[in-house]
């Protein structure tokens, strides 16, 4: 069975492949999660909408695939182990060919080889800049 660190690193690799056009990664990424899971983005600018199932994650990854960020890669990866053997904390930076960089931290709880909880702290504004959706995001944020 893969370790929590192995799963974290494999997820990052899958995210890179997805953003670089490999749509087969949608299902592969979803398979990292338990059927019932709890994935949250506490810093999402429009509010956190929990994803509580593998199917919700599949839909999330399918939507993310449409961004198609040129030269998307993950760098500066560090994994921190905790006193709880199910929990790892992963730090990383997403980067793209256009010179953008977006830092992130993910706290994962992995049980029996599947992610059962995740808290993803990503620079959403940085991603909006990278995907040229910052104006749309600002419009949503300032809507009465």
- Extents of the domains making up the chain: 4-142
- pLDDT confidence of residue 90: 98
- The reported pLDDT for the residue numbered 57 is 97
pLDDT at residue 17, rounded to an integer: 92
pLDDT of residue 68: 64
CA distances (Å), 127 to each of 35, 112, 137, in order?
28, 32, 11
Residue 61 confidence (pLDDT): 93
pLDDT of residue 86: 96
**Whole-number pLDDT of residue 132:** 81
Question: Which pLDDT value is given to residue 67?
Answer: 65
pLDDT-flagged residues of the chain (< 50): none
CA distances from 94 to 2, 32, 76 (A): 24, 20, 9
Q: Angle, nearest 10°, between helix axes 54-65 and 4-19?
A: 40
Q: Is domain 4-142 classified as CATH 3.30.565.10?
A: no
Supply the pTM of this predicted model: 0.90
In this structure, what DSSP letter does residue 42 have? T
């Amino acid at each position: 069975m893969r370790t929590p660190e192995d799963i974290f690193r494999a997820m990052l690799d899958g995210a890179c492949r997805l953003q670089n056009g490999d749509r087969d990664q949608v299902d592969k990424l979803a398979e990292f999660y338990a059927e019932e899971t709890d994935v949250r983005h506490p810093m999402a600018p429009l509010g956190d909408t929990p994803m509580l199932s593998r199917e919700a994650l599949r839909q999330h990854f399918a939507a993310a695939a449409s961004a198609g960020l040129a030269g998307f890669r993950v760098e500066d990866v560090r994994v921190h182990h905790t006193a709880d053997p199910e929990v790892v904390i992963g730090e990383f930076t997403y980067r793209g060919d256009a010179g953008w960089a977006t830092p992130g931290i993910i706290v994962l709880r992995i049980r029996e080889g599947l992610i059962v909880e995740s808290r993803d702290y990503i620079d959403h504004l940085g991603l909006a800049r990278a995907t040229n959706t910052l104006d749309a995001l600002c419009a949503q944020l300032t809507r009465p």
